Amino acid sequence: MKVLQSWLRKYVAFKVPPGELAERLTMLGLEFEKIEDLAEKYRGFVVGKVVECARHPNAHRLTVCKVNVGRETLQIVCGAPNVSEGQKVVVGRVGTTVPRDQHDPDGKPFVLAQVSIRGVDSFGMICSEYELDLGKDAEGILVLDETARAGQTLAEHLGLNDVVYDIEITPNRPDWLSHIGIAREIGVLVGRTARLPRVRLKESATPIRRHLKIRVEDRVNCPRFAARMIRGVKVGPSPGWLQNALRNVGLRPINNIVDVTNYVMLECGHPMHAFDYALLEGKSIVVRQLAVPMRFSTLDGKERELPVGTVMVCDATKEVSVAGVMGGANSEINDATVDVVLEAAYWNPVSIRRTARSLSISTDASQRFERGADPNGVLYALDRAAQLVLEVAGGELLRGKIDIYPRRIRPRTVGVRVSRVNALLGTSLTKQEIVRYLRLLDLTVTSAGKDLLRCTVPTYRVDLEREIDLTEEVARVHGYDNIGGTLTALVDFSRTTPAISVSDRLRSYLVGCGYYEAITNSMQDARRVSLYGVKPVPIRNPQNEEMAFLRTGLVPGLLDVVARNRSFGNSTLRFFEIGHVFKQDPQAPGRLVGDYAEEERLSMLLTGLERPLAWDAPARSVDFFDMKGEAEALLSKFALDKWRLISYSTSDGLTEKTVAIEIHGGYAGYLGQVKKEVLASFGIDQEVFVVELALSALDVPHGKKYEPLPRFPRVRRDLAFIVDAAVSNGDVIAAILKSGGELLHSVDLFDLYEGEGLGAGKKSLAYALTLMSRERTLTDGEIESTVRGIVRAVERECGGVLRSGQ
């Protein structure tokens, strides 16, 4: 948003230097991108009057001119064919930097020097509009109008003796998208209230309703619509002050009617539109939504596809404007326009945002409406535009206005406590000081008790809704640099540290293990939710088919993330997500309403290389056992020893080689390899391994206590058992742990053998047992007794036969 210093001074008087103003406004929350002194570019250029022209004695294409530049007359050699006596021209003095060099291919600037051209001295340069960067004409010099005065600076004559502030506007402050909005903030700095220009209108005796009818059919998206009508205008170029104002903030002047609507938008922050009355069929305006899609030609000369539901401004037979976004080419102001209808409305921000996104367009109007214009500023903007049109284009203003505003949007009232403000800011402001700060912001403040203030917020401040918002306003006006930095920290040893949620502990652990957290959409299509084999929860009014159901699991969303990363060349990936899943199940715990159940889960995903490429080790892709190891490490940390893995066959459509995870005797989740056909449907051509767990199963108390290092030696015994191939390692370990008693410290599988010497359908499992007591050194008898008990248990419960032991 570009604003002019001279324009701001129309509403509030200030003499703060540009740099200081930018710094102080930054402390109020505005962010300055750039400060440009327009006069700096044309420093050294003055208006000159050519008083004499003579042919160069040594070059027939050159002219020797005498040019009056105010206090002196300069001799300048000029090569332009259109120079002549009596002209008002632009003169660059010696030492001045010319913005563009017409003899340089890139048009780079250059510095003027005193030179001798074919034996004649030249003390400056008469410039073309190309050299001044004011246009493209490089053939002849720029001739100024008669209002120019010899000796006057070019910046003064062109209205460029001004400063442009380029400000980045935050989305929550649409009121800053106007000069008046910025002037209000300057008023806070200098302690003055910004004043709106006074509007005085002279109306004719003819009422507007005799010539114009308006009907609003969509009052949800158009809460307010107002119009005025001016007859007998003369369309033409705008006066210099209006053109300069628009041009200096980056808008191209078009004609006096359109320029006025743009000027009022930049002044008040309220976009407007002007219609050619003769092009409105039925002399009426109707606001409605499109019932069918259509193609529509907008003012920028493009034909656009408008979807069903687009809010349009229409006449009796056709659409004439995309509401709040852009007008149509079929009703625009042109040189033949005589009668003008000025329209100002308040549009539902959601509707404007949706329309602008669907058309992939962002205009000055849509930017303001979608952030939230002032519904109660409509009539002022309309009257201000009518006043300016009468000034620059003449005409007759019909009596009255049409204002359709059935449900008035009233200013909201927000309470703020003095004690709460001081507690949050660490200040000791008095009630009177807080009232003064809030009134500087144009809030109406009344006392509602010793500590409470009630503030009526103007409707142009859409960002002030809660007490904390007003507290922030007090901090802004008081000055963040005036808030002390001394803080007192109290440590209370009488209370225990609040427990950290299991989800936060999981995040910390997994990030530390090298995983990246993903956050995916909880709304999915029918194909993705069907992968879990449960009945999904449909969404009643989905935006599209891709978001028609609530997700039944987390893995499909992570597969979408993998596919996107693969498309960017990232193939080694470690992701996790913590989120909610949903299903229809009347028997499931955690039902929300009726048969709808919700559960929070953790999902982990591995794919790609096991470690980064290195010269000293061969590349290896992750496999099932890498994922199993990751799951076991996580379970050992969060579920201690209350878990086990169970191999089982599954009929769901997502994974194969699936292993169930049991915690505290109940099913908690699974780990497995995603099926190739599932990966192919996501466009993934490499193996992917996943874990999915219910968070409730991991939410167990984690009390930490100190345990000293063991004082007595450990003893290792290795046992190998021959068992049936169908017997799982988990069953054997469970039997060992159950029979080992308190002396068994740990058990680890270190060898698996299947082959010759064992017989068909057999395998050998070898385990390392660690025995230890924290109270004494174990005797040989205790060790042998424990080992014999373990062997008997494996033989009894798993049908194992001891192959070897040591």
> What is residue 671's predicted lDDT score, i.e. its pLDDT?
92
pLDDT in tens, 67-113: 999 989 999 999 999 999 999 999 999 999 999 998 888 889 999 99
Cα–Cα distance measured from residue 252 to residue 248, given in angstroms and rounded to the nearest whole number: 9
> What is residue 540's predicted lDDT score, i.e. its pLDDT?
86
Asked, for residue 710, whether it belongs to a domain, the answer is: no
The alpha-helical segments, DSSP class H, found in 373-449 are 378-393, 418-425, 431-440
> What is residue 611's predicted lDDT score, i.e. its pLDDT?
86
Asked, for residue 312, whether it belongs to a domain, the answer is: yes
The set of residues, in sequence order, having a beta carbon less than 8 Å from that of 409 and lying 6+ positions away, is 223, 224, 346, 375, 376, 459
What is the strand order of the sheet 444-447 is part of?
412-417, 452-457, 444-447
CA 240, chain centre distance (Å): 38
Lowest model confidence (mean pLDDT) among 402-411, 474-483, 532-541, 694-703 = 694-703
573 close to 607: Cβ distance less than 8 angstroms? yes
| Res 239 pLDDT > 60 | yes
Same domain, 177 and 209: no
What percent of the chain lies above the pLDDT cut of 70?
95
Asked, for residue 705, whether it belongs to a domain, the answer is: no
Same domain, 239 and 344: yes
> What is residue 636's predicted lDDT score, i.e. its pLDDT?
85
Cα–Cα distance measured from residue 601 to residue 661, given in angstroms and rounded to the nearest whole number: 13
| Res 707 pLDDT > 80 | no
> What is residue 805's predicted lDDT score, i.e. its pLDDT?
63
Domains of the chain: total: 6
> What is residue 758's predicted lDDT score, i.e. its pLDDT?
83
> What is residue 495's predicted lDDT score, i.e. its pLDDT?
67
418: domain CATH number?
3.30.56.10
The set of residues, in sequence order, having a beta carbon less than 8 Å from that of 19 and lying 6+ positions away, is 35
Same domain, 641 and 787: no
Higher pLDDT, 497 or 58: 58
- Residue 114, token pair as written in the block: 């005193």
On the 0-12 / 13-18 / 19+ scale of CB atoms within 10 A, 724 is: exposed
What is the arithmetic mean of pLDDT over 268-273? 95
Asked, for residue 91, whether it belongs to a domain, the answer is: yes
What is the arithmetic mean of pLDDT over 598-614? 90
Same domain, 738 and 642: no
- Residue 611 β-bridge partners: none
| Res 598 pLDDT > 80 | yes
> What is residue 496's predicted lDDT score, i.e. its pLDDT?
66
> What is residue 755's predicted lDDT score, i.e. its pLDDT?
83
In one-letter notation, the amino acid at residue 676 is: K
Same domain, 564 and 690: yes
- Residue 604 β-bridge partners: 576, 691
Asked, for residue 767, whether it belongs to a domain, the answer is: yes
Same domain, 461 and 540: no
> What is residue 663's predicted lDDT score, i.e. its pLDDT?
86
- Residue 602 β-bridge partners: 578, 693
| Res 263 pLDDT > 90 | yes
The parent domain of residue 628 ranges over: 502-698
Cα–Cα distance measured from residue 586 to residue 599, given in angstroms and rounded to the nearest whole number: 14
What is the arithmetic mean of pLDDT over 764-782? 90
> What is residue 186's predicted lDDT score, i.e. its pLDDT?
95
Question: Which secondary-structure segment (H or E) carries 509?
Answer: helix 502-512
Higher pLDDT, 806 or 167: 167
pLDDT in tens, 333-376: 999 999 999 999 999 999 999 999 999 899 999 999 999 999 99
605: domain CATH number?
3.30.930.10
45 close to 61: Cβ distance less than 8 angstroms? no
> What is residue 121's predicted lDDT score, i.e. its pLDDT?
93
> What is residue 590's predicted lDDT score, i.e. its pLDDT?
63
Asked, for residue 89, whether it belongs to a domain, the answer is: yes
CA 45, chain centre distance (Å): 44
Kindly report the length of the chain.
806
Cα distances (angstroms) measured from residue 630 to each of 280, 350, 375: 71, 46, 58
Q: CB-side exposure of 301: number of CA atoms within 13 Å?
A: 0
Asked, for residue 347, whether it belongs to a domain, the answer is: yes
> What is residue 553's predicted lDDT score, i.e. its pLDDT?
93
The alpha-helical segments, DSSP class H, found in 158-297 are 179-190, 240-248, 256-268
| Res 592 pLDDT > 70 | no
Same domain, 214 and 305: yes
**Which range has highest mean pLDDT (135-139, 565-569, 634-638, 705-709)?**
565-569
Same domain, 220 and 347: yes
788: domain CATH number?
3.30.70.380
Closest CA to 127 of 54, 50, 38: 50
289 close to 279: Cβ distance less than 8 angstroms? no
| Res 497 pLDDT > 80 | no
Sequential DSSP letters for 689-745: EEEEEEHHHH---------PPPSS--EEEEEEEEEETTS-HHHHHHHHHHHHGGGEE
Torsion angle, alpha carbons of 91, 96, 100, 101, to 10: 90
pLDDT in tens, 655-681: 888 888 888 878 889 999 999 999 999
> What is residue 286's predicted lDDT score, i.e. its pLDDT?
96
Same domain, 244 and 349: yes
What is the arithmetic mean of pLDDT over 319-337? 93
Q: What is the pTM of this model?
A: 0.63
Asked, for residue 282, whether it belongs to a domain, the answer is: yes
| pLDDT band for position 703 (cuts 50, 70, 90) | low
Higher pLDDT, 533 or 288: 288
| Res 410 pLDDT > 90 | yes
What is the arithmetic mean of pLDDT over 533-551? 89
Same domain, 366 and 248: yes
